[in-house]
Amino acid sequence: MGWFFGFKLHLIINDKGELLSFYLTKGNVDDRNIELMTAMTKEVFGKLFGDKGYISKALAELLFQDGIQLITKVRKNMKQQNLSDIDAILLRKRALVESVNDELKNICKIEHTRHRSVKGFLVNLIAGLTAYCFFPKKPSLNITPVETNQLSLWAA
């Protein structure tokens, strides 16, 4: 019949839908794994938006020491975070990652169970990720800064 290799593909993308980092783990590995996140975020800085699976105080503190602010939705039994308006809006736009996952699965065909060897599985995965990187149009947030000549007034 063939083989099935249960896996999780962890992705970090930017607002333009470009892959910044990825990591492949077994299907039973926790998303909050410190070694995993350390390896994935080696070359990343700024704000990192994730789903509820990445909620961990220890992970957030570790990433903060490396210059990364981890922003996630909160669970029902947690108190609300103090987020800026921009962070709250960007957190709602986390569906961009799901759009990238959809393209990887349905267009690049990285998700199927016909692999007969580990090598075949890895070749298919890397080929799909590489093909996605060359797509001319990727899902994006279309964020463009607006330049104005207006003065900002701040009251202390």
Residue-wise DSSP of the chain: ------EEEEEEE-TTS-EEEEEEEETTS-TT-HHHHHHHTTT--EEEEE-GGG--HHHHHHHHHTTEEEEEPPPTTSPPP---HHHHHHHHTTHHHHHHHHHHHHTS----S---SHHHHHHHHHHHHHHHHT-SS-------PPP--PPP----
Task: For residue 130, name the pLDDT band (cuts at 50, 70, 90).
Answer: very high
50 Cβ neighbours under 8 A, 6+ residues apart: 31, 70, 71, 72, 94
Check pLDDT > 70 for residue 148.
Answer: no
pLDDT in the model for residue 124: 87
Give the position of tokens 């105080």: 57
User: Cα separation of 14 and 59, whole Å?
Assistant: 20
Q: Any idea which of 28-32, 111-115, 133-137 has the lowest mean pLDDT?
A: 111-115
pLDDT in the model for residue 32: 80
Task: For residue 17, name the pLDDT band (cuts at 50, 70, 90).
Answer: confident
pLDDT in the model for residue 69: 86
Which among 103, 129, 97, 72 has a CA at the least distance from the CA of 16?
97
pLDDT in the model for residue 57: 84
Q: 63-86: per-residue pLDDT in tens?
A: 888 888 888 877 777 767 777 777
63 Cβ neighbours under 8 A, 6+ residues apart: 37, 41, 48, 69, 70
Check pLDDT > 70 for residue 51.
Answer: yes
pLDDT in the model for residue 134: 93
**Better pLDDT: 156 or 12:** 12
Over range 116-141, report the average pLDDT.
87
pLDDT in the model for residue 155: 59
Tokens of residue 29, six digits: 């590995």
**Better pLDDT: 93 or 152:** 93
pLDDT in the model for residue 1: 45
Check pLDDT > 60 for residue 31.
Answer: yes
